[in-house]
Amino acid sequence: MDLAYTTAGGVVGAAVTNHLSRTQERRELRAAVMQQLLRVEAVRDEVYGIAPGRREGPSRQPAGVRAPVAARFGAVAVLEDGRDAERVQREAVADLVAAALSAGVPRRVLDFAGGGAEHALRCEVLRAVDARLGGVLGAPLDELAVSCEEYRQATAQLLLGALWQPWRTRPRLRGRLRALRRDAAALHRMQEALESVLTGPQHLDALAERLRGSRSDQGAPRTDDGPGPAA
């Protein structure tokens, strides 16, 4: 009888210890995802402006690789510390994907979360370019900003739902992804329309002239870490 009680107690204790260990591991994995998500969102918030860069179009990129948005205007989007915002965001999204996959978040959810962050940063780049040109887009840019923020929030909420409440998110996942796919297509069309305006020859020439002027005013060469801050 003593042996039976001892054995049963050991089994129960092992089960409880295993459960607590897994619970702690899940908490740590979820905390890592939250930290990386905040890091991704911080990139957009820290965009300082644009600086002179090399102009690149989609035709210069390998198949399946999208050219940096700012590069289409011959510019680089920079953070407050002078780093390339789009490069920093790519690194942050990659770290978010790695953390979220470890926490059991489906990859297709992460694709939309990364896309939401990309659209949000793309909107900030267009806003910075438009500001350098004196505000040529007007109300359509404000509408785009609202749509970008709504889409970013929707994709982030989907990610958080899959992370914290997967049993609730899973049954409705297919329908939500279908709706987000439609929203992403509409958002892409809006962004492309505004980009086509800003990449008109007259605007590109004016932007290049103003960027050259800002470089002369700063008087500092670019480094490997990126250009110095530009308003």
Say whether pLDDT at 149 is over 50.
yes
pTM for the complete prediction?
A: 0.78
**pLDDT, tens digit, for every residue of 8-49?**
555 555 555 554 456 778 889 999 999 999 999 999 999 999
Spatial distance between the Cα atoms of 218 and 94, rounded to a whole number of angstroms: 33
Give 51-104 pLDDT, tens digit per residue. 988 776 554 444 445 668 899 999 999 999 999 999 999 999 999 999 999 999
Q: Closest Cα partner for 71 from 116, 122, 20?
A: 122
Q: Tell me the C-alpha distance between 48 and 82, whole Å.
A: 8
> What's the CA gap between 210 and 231, in Å, rounded?
11
Of the chain, the percentage scoring pLDDT greater than 90 comes to 66
CB 54 within 8 A of CB 71: yes
d(CA 173, CA 158): 9
